[in-house]
Amino acid sequence: MSYFSSDFKLGILGGGQLGKMMLYATRKFDIATKVIDSSKDAPSRLACDEFVQGDILDYDTVLEFGRSVDLLTFEIENVNVDALETLENEGKKVYPSSKTLRTIQNKATQKLFYTDHHIPTAPFSRFAYASEIEDAIDNGGLSIPFVWKSARFGYDGQGVKVIRTISDLKELPNTECIAEALIPFKNELAVIVARNESGEIKTYPTVEMEFHPEANQVEYVLCPARLPEHITNKAEALALKVADAYKHVGLLAVEMFLTKDDDVLVNEVAPRPHNSGHYSIEGSFTCQFEQHLRAILNLPLGKTESTVAGVMVNLVGAENHTGDVLYKNIEHIMAMDGVTPHIYGKKQTRPFRKMGHVTIIDKDINKARAIAQNVKETIQVISK
């Protein structure tokens, strides 16, 4: 099938920043696109060929949208998976598949998947309701501290909380959840895997992630990870095992913990382009967004090696600032060597909202990290 300068139309569920950056690649290849998002101001609206405002959690809306395109993908997991399954049964290609998404959407079923496939992950308990947790603690079946995670609809630090005292349970929503052992880890790592329908599979280099201590959001992503080769090889082999277990088509970002004993455990996965791969736009032979397209269209996968070391800094809304956004001192960071800001197009800022990212590239990862620190301390995402 010809995708380039043809009648083929790619449908994308979700019009946020990941969709916007995916559209850079569709523009490069002249692949026609249709995007749906609930917001009329979605960042993707200006870059696609056709934009539809609609609820991607609504069965009929997703079904109608899917029938209007030739192949369907998504940039966010919170979509109506029943509609995707119906579309597949009608012969529509949906990548990643509804089966994969159904497993990943629910953190409890995702963790059970790892257990069933002998994929190392942190020990956990599953609860239908958060109210059951206190009984489990009283009965000795669960001990504090642990990490509470909502089974559904968590993102960017939402739906995750470290429980250190019984009183911490009072604020939890009474929904399906898991209680996960608090792993004493040295690093959080991620490996992005690309796999196409023919089974060709490639990994990007292991990256290390540094998190904001309060917001539980990634502050810095560093590629290559500053770790011994035998550890990065172990992480990449584990990521390949995970992608193979899912029989995944598209990009799969595998987030991991590196324990104090140098074991690598899978934390969770995202079946789409991911924050941990943003450095690849400036730092890799093939950026993650182009690679996702190559994978879902069953085209040959691109070279995944880095051309240069890269650090990514998330731009998030400053605390105590809500309203029309202002990127204070952006011209100062643009004067720094190897610095490229990416602004997502969200007009309204609020505390810790992802508003953009900055990539810093250099031959030396340590120099790039030092510049990244300077970037972080210089630019401010505030309200006017």
Q: What is the rounded average pLDDT of the residues 129-138? A: 90
- Establish whether 268 is an annotated binding residue: yes
Whether the Cβ atoms of residue 42 and residue 15 lie closer than 8 Å to each other: yes
**Residue 210 in tokens:** 């540094």
Band (pLDDT 50/70/90 cuts) for residue 258 is very high
Band (pLDDT 50/70/90 cuts) for residue 216 is low
- 142 Cβ contact list (under 8 Å, min separation 6): 125, 133, 136, 179
Q: Please write the tens of the pLDDT for every residue from 59-68.
A: 999 999 999 9
- Establish whether 80 is an annotated binding residue: no
Q: Please write the tens of the pLDDT for every residue from 302-319.
A: 999 999 999 999 999 999
Side-chain half-sphere exposure of 132, counting CA atoms within 13 A: 11
Q: What is the 3-state secondary structure (H, E, C) of 244-281?
A: HHHCCCEEEEEEEEEECCCCEEEEEEECCCCHHHCCHH
- Number of domains present in the structure of the chain: 3
List the CATH number of the domain containing 18: 3.40.50.20
Residue at token pair 């890799």:
284
pLDDT of residue 283: 97
Least confident of 36-45, 167-176, 190-199: 167-176
- 181 Cβ contact list (under 8 Å, min separation 6): 122, 123, 124, 146, 147
- Establish whether 343 is an annotated binding residue: no
Asked if residue 108 belongs to a domain, the reply is no
State in Å, rounded, how far the first CA of the chain is from the last one.
49
| Amino acid at position 151, single letter | A
- The residues with which 120 forms a beta bridge, in sequence order, are none
- Establish whether 299 is an annotated binding residue: no
- Establish whether 183 is an annotated binding residue: yes
211 and 278 belong to one structural domain: yes
List the CATH number of the domain containing 156: 3.30.1490.20
Strands 309-316 and 177-181: unpaired
75 and 138 belong to one structural domain: no
- Establish whether 180 is an annotated binding residue: yes
Residue 146 has pLDDT above 90, yes or no: yes
Q: Please write the tens of the pLDDT for every residue from 217-232.
A: 788 999 999 999 999 9
Residue 256 has pLDDT above 80, yes or no: yes
Cα Dmax for the chain: 64
- Establish whether 149 is an annotated binding residue: yes
List the CATH number of the domain containing 244: 3.30.470.20
Q: What is the pTM of this model?
A: 0.94
- Establish whether 182 is an annotated binding residue: yes
Band (pLDDT 50/70/90 cuts) for residue 116 is very high
The average confidence (pLDDT) of the chain is 95
222 and 74 belong to one structural domain: no
163 and 194 belong to one structural domain: no
303 and 242 belong to one structural domain: yes
Domain that holds residue 214: 185-383
